[in-house]
Amino acid sequence: MIPKKQIVDLPVYQPGKPIDEVKRELGLEQIVKLASNENPFGCSPKVKEAIVPVLDQLAIYPDGGSMALREELAAFLEVDGSQLVFGNGSDELVMLTSRAYLEPGANTVMATPTFPVYKTTATVEGAEVIEVPLVDGVHDLKGLLANINEQTRVVWVCNPNNPSGTMNSEEEIKTFLDQVPKSVLVVLDEAYYEYVTDASYPESLKLLPQYSNVLILRTFSKIYGLAGLRIGYGVASPDIVDKLNRVREPFNTSSIAQVAAIAAMKDQEFVQSCRSLNDSGRKQLYAAFDEMGLSYYPSQGNFVLVDTKKDGNDVFQALLQKGYIIRSGRALGFPTWIRVTVGNEEQNSGFLAALREVL
Ligand SMILES: *Cc1c(COP(=O)(O)O)cnc(C)c1O
């Protein structure tokens, strides 16, 4: 059998270790997973209530157009329903973007290190990937601009950036968008939008009328706590939405996910509470890192990248023995760093105690 040549050398995604597997392997009772930027507070209790009636409808295909969710979300975001597209997680929307806009002979420009799915999906489509190093952990927007050429179709900006947690301000993003050719699609991946507390962060939805080449990606996986249900969305001009819909499977989001997303979206009190607890959690981690003399990037997400000054894989292994699953920075492009998801206060303290012992 002859596979597509672009995929032969693709790395297989390495997920955070599942809790049960680690428990079994190490014979540990209690495991805390701070590896996948999941919400330590779960999701809104309203979600559970809302999905129960759907359990009686499992024989029925979901609404392929997500009409109910579309209507609610359009009203909430103050955009037109025709500007929304839904995906099986925003990961799928990244894939659909590559599928719709990239092909052999075209190129795509992105930061490095950044969210790996941009590169993987672009590579599958046979496009050339141009990577521009972060500067002090931050997207080098001037560098991205300088690398755009006639063949460029898509530029990716992960804001806040995973894994560094840093962000670009509204002013920086606007200056950037003013200079990107209108024929080039700019993807603003805002998976951590709801966690941002910095006032200079762009209100990107307001930029859409002026920049018809922008696609904003957001998700219900992170602050909304629905990672297991897989649902995310894109907001863009109806033209971009139309192109993504052409390559989208008809029933890509489940009926349970659609209903859950509506209930989650309506509980903004839960979102606010998570944002504020996360902000306290970040400060809790920073204070301890400062005390330990470790440098880190100030994060606008629910994770912090910190330099342990030791091999990230070794620190990962040592923390694992103590029941804490985090991410080694080695595979993320930061060999001596680790990325830790902000947990609840108790999880953070436990992690910090373990880290102190390990270092
Ligand atoms: C987590 C994450 C996503 C997507 O998550 P989904 O669960 O697929 O919605 C997208 N982009 C970034 C940068 C992320 O960290």
> Could you tell me if the CB of 38 is within 6 A of ligand 1?
no
Query: Taking a C-beta distance cutoff of 8 angstroms, is the pair 305, 240 a contact?
Result: no
Local structure of 211: helix, strand or coil:
coil
Same domain, 165 and 54: yes
CATH of the domain at 212: 3.40.640.10
Beta carbons within 8 Å of 267's beta carbon, 6+ residues apart: 44, 46, 47
CATH of the domain at 289: 3.90.1150.10
Q: Whole-model pTM above 0.85?
A: yes
Among 225, 332, 345, which Cα is nearest to 285's? 345
CA distance 102 to 131: 16
Same domain, 77 and 208: yes
What digits encode the pLDDT tens for the residues 278-337?
A: 999 999 999 999 999 999 999 999 999 999 999 999 999 999 999 999 999 999 999 999
Q: State which ligand 1 atom lies nearest to the alpha carbon of 227.
A: 7
Same domain, 249 and 273: no
Same domain, 336 and 276: yes
Write down which residue in 209, 231, 266 finishes a domain.
266
What digits encode the pLDDT tens for the residues 122-162?
A: 999 999 999 999 999 999 999 999 999 999 999 999 999 99
Dmax (CA) for the chain in angstroms is 57
Distance 2 CA to ligand 1 centre (A): 31
Same domain, 146 and 103: yes
Neighbours of 8 (CB within 10 A): 8
CA distance 187 to 132: 15
> Could you tell me if the CB of 114 is within 6 A of ligand 1?
no
Choosing from 187, 189, 218 the residue with most ligand 1 atoms within 8 A of its CB, the one to mutate for a pocket test is 189
- Secondary structure E strands in the chain: 32-33, 84-87, 107-112, 128-133, 152-158, 185-189, 214-219, 232-235, 303-307, 324-325, 327-328, 337-341
CA distance 284 to 67: 42
**Alpha carbon 4 to chain centroid, angstroms:** 27
Q: What is the pLDDT of residue 39?
A: 98
> Could you tell me if the CB of 232 is within 6 A of ligand 1?
yes
Same domain, 253 and 275: no
**If you take atom 1 of ligand 1, which residue's CA is the nearest one?**
191
Same domain, 137 and 165: yes
Same domain, 102 and 199: yes
Same domain, 92 and 204: yes
Write down which residue in 227, 248, 266 finishes a domain.
266
Q: Is the omega angle on the peptide bond into residue 160 within 30 degrees of 0, that is, cis?
A: yes
Choosing from 115, 215, 216 the residue with most ligand 1 atoms within 8 A of its CB, the one to mutate for a pocket test is 115
What digits encode the pLDDT tens for the residues 250-268?
A: 999 999 999 999 999 999 9
Q: State which ligand 1 atom lies nearest to the alpha carbon of 231.
A: 9
> Could you tell me if the CB of 189 is within 6 A of ligand 1?
yes
DSSP classification of residue 250: T
Beta-sheet pairing, 152-158 with 303-307 = unpaired
**Alpha carbon 330 to chain centroid, angstroms:** 19
Same domain, 308 and 249: no
**Domain that includes residue 279, residue range:** 5-43+269-358
Number of structural domains, the chain? Answer: 2
Same domain, 163 and 217: yes
> Could you tell me if the CB of 163 is within 6 A of ligand 1?
no
Same domain, 158 and 255: yes
